[in-house]
Amino acid sequence: MSHKHKNLTGPHTYKAKKSAAPVQHFLVQAVSFHQKGEFAKAKTFYRQVLSRQPDNFDALHLLGVIAAQTRYSNQAVELIGKAIEINSNSADAYYNYGNALQYVNRHLAAVDSYYHALALNPDYVDVYCSLGLAFNHLKQDQTALENYDRAFALDPDYDFLCGYRLHTKMKLCNWQNLEQECAVLTVKLAAGGKVAQPFTALTLLDSPELQKKVAQLWTQDKSPGNDSLPKLAKQPRRARLRIGYFSADFQLHPVAMLTAELFEKHHRSGFEIIAFSLNDSGPKDQTRIRLEAGFDRFLDVQNLSDLEIAQLARKLEIDIAVDLGGHTGKCRTGIFALRAAPIQISYIGYLGTMGAEYMDYLIADPVIIPEQARPYYQEKIVYLPSYQVNDSQRRIADVTFTRSQLGLPETGFVFCCFNNNYKITPNVFSQWMRILASVPGSVLFLYAGNAAAEQNLKNAAVLRGVNPDRLVFGKKLPLPEYLARYRQADLFLDTQPYNAGTTASDALWTGLPVLTCLGNTFAGRVAASLLTAIDLPELIAQTPAQYEAMAIDLATCPDKLAGIKARLSQNRLTTPLFNTDLFTANLEAAYIRMYERYQADLPPEHIYV
């Protein structure tokens, strides 16, 4: 989920009197430029004010707002904090201070600032929305939803609020009025409304057309093309391409777990690999240590502005900039809006189009984006034989869990799905309950992200006539033990419209078959891509009805399932899915093709490797 604020509260309108003093004149000029988005000129005039009145609240506050808007986040915290010391009666200042604190990952402090704002203005809708974002970050989703509900009651048309609220409800498996709310979202979106952030659309809408529209609206609002930097001069041809990988997830995160070996496998004779780490707030775990060693250079740039990062990428003469985040989490799309490199690619973090003209390519494969679906993607498509990179060095713990250790019954078929709770839709859950009803003694092994989701799923089972004790919830485990746990399951059931990605790879890596249903969007076809790459296409259902029938058939025909498990065991290390050397060679071939087009002054075009 992409956590970006609707807006920082910008400048008020200041009117100068005919005999205005210089300070007031400069303030009026500053505000005028600020409102037009001419930040450099605005900053000059705000500083003119501060040179004459160092304790001018408006100049400090609004200069801090510009700092936040341009992602000079630490500077924003400092400036707005000083402004509040001068005037502690401004709800706007406390709101903007909270937003700046969120940008530097100080979410608890941000919550405190928002509460100060509400004490001054109890009906401040922007604050309730930002409180929702802060509590999402703090993994207090029930509290987040309560704040989104307050914002929604004040202004149901507040930009993107509908999407934030729906996504939080999905994390809680709170499906109350979900069908009606999704219908409203779809109607508003079709009319061009700013109703959802792109990630929410991936999880709820099985429509590549609507997903593209969401991404375009979001990009136009949050990160439109930015010509602040001069046009990139053409770089001379070089034998060793310089690839920049940009991510806020270079730590224990699905993106890092998939890509770690790729960075190690890149052929250094032809490629120099540089990491631009956009988030270094977490602990330095083993994944992070491995990643730092896997790059030629690992740059911590989280405290730099988008402009400074783009300038650094240009200074380093990055040939190809790869965005591993897209419209997710702590993304910094503004870097690419400034054109950090002559070739810019979206890969693996966000499963859809960025809807941005400055992103040149999107990496996929023919299963994920068939040729007839290409109009729904802004980028040119790079077709690899297999889309998802994997780490073939992932260790599975040398432990055999007993069923009782995992809370499973001693006998009976075990279906499982360890996808995030927001991927479980009411329709998918209804299918699962019909499958359980058709397979006596079977259970469904799930991941519970929070207590509310667990209880809501149990309640949903009761409503569908299934004993809630047939749902078993697994807790968080260290990665090797988490992988070992899959071996106590019999069949992984995938979700729609947002498939398993890393979790599907995890299951297949441990020898557990994955059953999926082919969707219409990128996110809805990833599991089919994985199964194609490991040569198990018979596990790809074409319709929801076929998906249910296949799950029941595999659970009640032990010989058939055993045959599939045997093929999976045989294919695991002989097919492309977990062949990181092959994937790296294919990706590098794609990089060279893109680079050759650039050197030949040809525009981006669809590429097949």
**374-391 pLDDT tens trace:** 999 999 999 999 999 999
* Res 283 pLDDT > 80: no
State mean pLDDT over 280-302: 90
**What counts of helices (H) and strands (E) characterise the chain?**
24, 14
Res 522: pLDDT: 98
What DSSP string runs through 468-489?
GGGEEEEPP--HHHHHHHGGG-
Q: Which residues contact 492 (CB under 8 A, 6 or more apart)?
A: 415, 416, 417, 418, 486, 500, 503, 504, 507, 512, 513, 514, 515
CATH of the domain at 491: 3.40.50.2000
Same domain, 497 and 596: no
Neighbour count for residue 480 (Cβ, 10 Å): 14
Taking 60 as the threshold, does the pLDDT of residue 456 lie above it? yes
Give the end of a domain, one of 195, 222, 249: 222
The per-residue pLDDT for range 144-194, each reduced to its tens digit, is: 999 999 999 999 999 999 999 999 999 999 999 999 999 999 999 989 999
Q: What is the mean pLDDT of residues 329-346?
A: 95
Flag whether 14 is in a domain.
no
Segment 26-37 mean pLDDT: 90
Worst-scoring range by mean pLDDT, 6-15, 129-138, 304-313, 574-583? 6-15
Residue 380 is assigned to a structural domain of this protein? yes
Q: With a cut of 70, say whether residue 286 has pLDDT above it.
A: yes
Instruction: Render pLDDT for 559-569 as a digit per residue (tens, 0 to 9).
Output: 999 999 999 99
Decide: residue 235, CB within 10 A, 0-12 exposed, 13-18 middle, 19+ buried. middle
* Tokens 């994920």, located at residue: 368
The residues, ordered by sequence, that sit 6+ positions from 44 with a Cβ below 8 Å of its Cβ are 30
Among 187, 222, 257, where does a domain finish? 222
Report the percent of the chain where pLDDT is more than 90: 91
Say if 229 falls within a structural domain: no
How confident is the model over 14-37, as a mean pLDDT? 76
CA 5, CA 99: separation in Å to the nearest integer?
7
pLDDT score at 18: 41
- Residue 512, by phi and psi: left (phi above 0), alpha (psi -120 to 50) or beta? beta
**CA-to-CA dists, residue 556 to 412, 414, 417, 437, angstroms:** 11, 12, 19, 12
pLDDT reported for residue 212: 97
Question: Which of helix, strand or coil describes residue 446?
Answer: strand
Identify the pLDDT of residue 22: 83
Task: Name the strand (E) or helix (H) holding 133.
Answer: helix 125-137
At residue 6 the predicted structure's pLDDT band, cuts being 50, 70 and 90, is very low
562/414 same-domain check = yes
Q: Average the pLDDT over 546-557 and give the result.
A: 98
Q: Within this chain, do residues 38 and 176 fall inside the same structural domain, yes or no?
A: yes
Report if residue 132 sits inside a domain.
yes
User: Cβ–Cβ contacts within 10 Å for residue 393, how many?
Assistant: 11
Whether residues 267 and 298 fall in one domain: yes
Confidence band for 335, pLDDT divided at 50, 70 and 90: very high
Distance of CA 69 to the CA centre of its chain: 21
* Residue 108 located in a structural domain: yes
Q: What is the mean pLDDT of the chain?
A: 94
Residue 1: pLDDT over 60: no
Q: CA of 17: how far to CAs of 54, 75, 225, in Å?
A: 22, 32, 37
As a whole number of angstroms, the distance between CA 220 and CA 200 comes to 17
Q: Report whether pLDDT(20) > 90.
A: no
- Which residues have CB under 8 Å from 247's CB, separation 6+? 255, 256, 275, 276, 277, 278, 324, 325, 349
Where does the pLDDT of residue 275 fall: very low under 50, low under 70, confident under 90, or very high at 90 and above?
Answer: very high
User: Looking at residue 217, which CATH number applies to its domain?
Assistant: 1.25.40.10
Name the DSSP class of 373: G
Residues 198 and 82 in one domain: yes
The 3-state DSSP composition of the chain as helix, strand, coil percent (nearest 5) reads 50, 10, 40
What average pLDDT does this structure show over 393-421? 95
Shared domain for 431 and 383, answered yes or no, is no
Q: Number of folded domains in the chain?
A: 3
* pLDDT bucket at 531, cuts 50 / 70 / 90: very high
Residue 236 belongs to some domain of the structure: no
| Bridge partner list, 352 | none
pLDDT of res. 218? 96
10 lies in some domain = no
Element (H, E) at 493: strand 491-493
Q: Clarify whether residues 266 and 318 are in a common domain.
A: yes
**115 shares a domain with 97:** yes
Residues 486 and 557 in one domain: yes
Most distant CA pair in the chain, distance: 92
pTM of the complete model:
0.93
Helices 161-171, 178-190: axis angle to 10 degrees equals: 150
Final residue before a domain boundary, out of 177, 192, 222:
222
Same domain, 475 and 587: no
Whether residue 5 is contained in a domain is answered as no
Q: Are residues 433 and 322 in the same domain?
A: no
Q: 201 with 321, same domain?
A: no
For the chain, first and last CA: distance in Å?
31
Supply the pLDDT for residue 3: 41
Say which range, 50-54, 453-457, 504-508, 548-552, has the weakest mean pLDDT. Answer: 50-54
Q: Which domain holds residue 342?
A: 241-392+583-608
